[in-house]
Amino acid sequence: MAGQNMSSKFRGCLVGSLFGDCMGAPFEGNDISSGDKLVIQRYFDRMEDPNFKGPFKKYTDDTAMMKSVAQFLIDTPEPDLKHLAELFTNEFFKQPRRGYGGSVVSVFEKLRKSKFNDIFLPSKEQFNGQGSYGNGGAMRIAPIPLYFHDDFDNMLNIAAESTKITHSNELGIHGALLQCLAVHQAFLADPNTPINVDEFCNKLLEKMKAIERSYYNDVESDSDTPYCERIKLIQKFLSTKYSDEYDDEVIRDLGNDISAFESVPTAIFCFLRAQNTIPGIKTDNIFRRTIQYAITLGGDTDTIACMAGAIAGAYLGEESINKAILQHCEKVEDIVKLADSLYAARPHDGKG
């Protein structure tokens, strides 16, 4: 991949993640009616008008934590997870009112109190030892598949270990790995060639099968593990006619809540469905369609749009993102700089 394309994909991915978070945050927790979908269409149309002046859309915990993941890779070329735990914790105490998950806050408190003695212990203690299955690991993962794009094993290892600082439940960890794989595949895809949605899913399925089968080692060879079953469901939905309205079934069967299991597959689905037109969403821009569709599903809108935005931005690059809307996202210039620093810090062979 040429250097210019690659740096555009780094920017597209991190800015895409910020964009989804900022645009989705005002709707987090809402059920979206057909009237609301019209309001959301107008909301995007208005923001695309370069003359529109409006207050900043603030970013939330999704971006706050994604920034720390990028910074940790930039600061310590040999990944130092203790440093990441410190970055998460310091960022939280600097700006605690970013809408963090209800329970993850106690991980930061324990980490600080214990002076980062065992960075994995507080997370293991969550929910009486079950660990969190929230989507907090997945929502922040994007910098890892960018940085390790040509080192697959290290990518998965650091993705899992960095997630375990806050999320020790397997569904939280595997959700983060699935999002990591989706960003990675999108990053490696040629933005000038349409995505073959079935092939994209089959590749994800193959990699997720290996991850889940090695965890659930008693699983029968032909039975499906949780995330693999969800990927097959995505394929089933996408084989339905693109002109069909089936959002209620998507919400019911794939989910739209704060758990990784009920949101990561949904974000991937949003990206894949947006490769084609969607009823009620009037735009030719695939990136915008991805985010706008994710928000119209309601529920955990900031996080589903953030994850879908990271995948879409990694595929399409920064050129696909409307500059006028971006102006309304808090700290967009900082995220562009962060993406450039991550690009410069990546391990590379000197060719790119």
Q: Does 60 bind ligand F2R (CB under 6 A)?
A: yes
Q: Which residue has the tokens 């130092």?
A: 80
CB 25 within 8 A of CB 59: yes
Binding piece for ligand F2R, criterion CB under 6 A, among 130-138, 188-196, 319-327, 340-348: 130-138
Binding positions for ligand F2R, 184-243, rule CB under 6 A: none
In angstroms, give the least distance from the CB of 275 to ligand F2R: 25
Question: What does the alpha-carbon distance between residue 122 and residue 115 come to, in Å, rounded to a whole number?
Answer: 12
Secondary structure (DSSP) of 116-146: TSSTTHHHHHGGGGT---BTTTTTT-THHHH
What is the b/e burial string over 29-68, where b = at least 16 CB atoms within 10 angstroms of the residue's CB?
eeebeeebbeebbebbeebbeeeeeeeebbbbbbbbbbbb
136 interacts with, out of ligand F2R, Mg ion, none, CB within 5 to 8 A per kind: ligand F2R
Q: Which residues pair with residue 259 across a beta bridge?
A: 134
Binding piece for ligand F2R, criterion CB under 6 A, among 66-74, 196-204, 297-305, 331-339: 297-305
Contacts with Mg ion by CB under 5 A lie at: 60-62, 99, 300, 302-303
In angstroms, give the least distance from the CB of 215 to ligand F2R: 16
Q: How far is CA 164 from each of CA 101, 108, 265, rounded to the nearest angstrom?
A: 15, 13, 20
Q: Does 28 bind ligand F2R (CB under 6 A)?
A: yes
Secondary structure (DSSP) of 288-319: HHHHHHHHHT-BSHHHHHHHHHHHHHHHH-GG
Considering the complex, state which of residue 79 and residue 298 has its C-beta at the smaller distance from Mg ion.
298
Binding piece for ligand F2R, criterion CB under 6 A, among 30-38, 95-103, 183-191, 338-346: 95-103
Q: Does 27 bind ligand F2R (CB under 6 A)?
A: no
Question: What does the alpha-carbon distance between residue 313 and residue 316 come to, in Å, rounded to a whole number?
Answer: 5
Q: Does 26 bind ligand F2R (CB under 6 A)?
A: no
- The size of the interface with ligand F2R (CB under 6 A), counted in residues, is 24
Question: What is the dihedral angle through the alpha carbons of 128, 129, 134, 138, rounded to the nearest 10 degrees?
Answer: 160
Q: Which of 52, 56, 127, 215 binds ligand F2R (CB under 6 A)?
A: 127
Q: Which residues pair with residue 30 across a beta bridge?
A: 299
Q: Which residue has the tokens 């203690």?
A: 125
In angstroms, give the least distance from the CB of 228 to ligand F2R: 21
Question: What does the alpha-carbon distance between residue 276 and residue 114 come to, in Å, rounded to a whole number?
Answer: 50
Q: Which of 17, 89, 132, 283 binds ligand F2R (CB under 6 A)?
A: 132
Task: Kindly state the tokens that stand for 27.
Answer: 């709707």
- What amino acid is encoded at 74 in this protein? I
Q: Which of 35, 55, 102, 350 binds ligand F2R (CB under 6 A)?
A: 102
In angstroms, give the least distance from the CB of 348 to ligand F2R: 31
Considering the complex, state which of residue 29 and residue 50 has its C-beta at the smaller distance from ligand F2R.
29
Q: Does 103 bind ligand F2R (CB under 6 A)?
A: yes
CB 267 within 8 A of CB 308: yes
Question: What does the alpha-carbon distance between residue 316 and residue 312 come to, in Å, rounded to a whole number?
Answer: 6
Considering the complex, state which of residue 170 and residue 257 has its C-beta at the smaller distance from Mg ion.
257
Q: Which residues pair with residue 134 across a beta bridge?
A: 259
Considering the complex, state which of residue 30 and residue 114 has its C-beta at the smaller distance from ligand F2R.
30
Considering the complex, state which of residue 121 and residue 210 has its C-beta at the smaller distance from ligand F2R.
121
Which spans of this chain sit near ligand F2R (rule: CB under 6 A)?
28-29, 60-62, 99-104, 127, 130, 132-136, 139, 169, 258, 300, 302-303
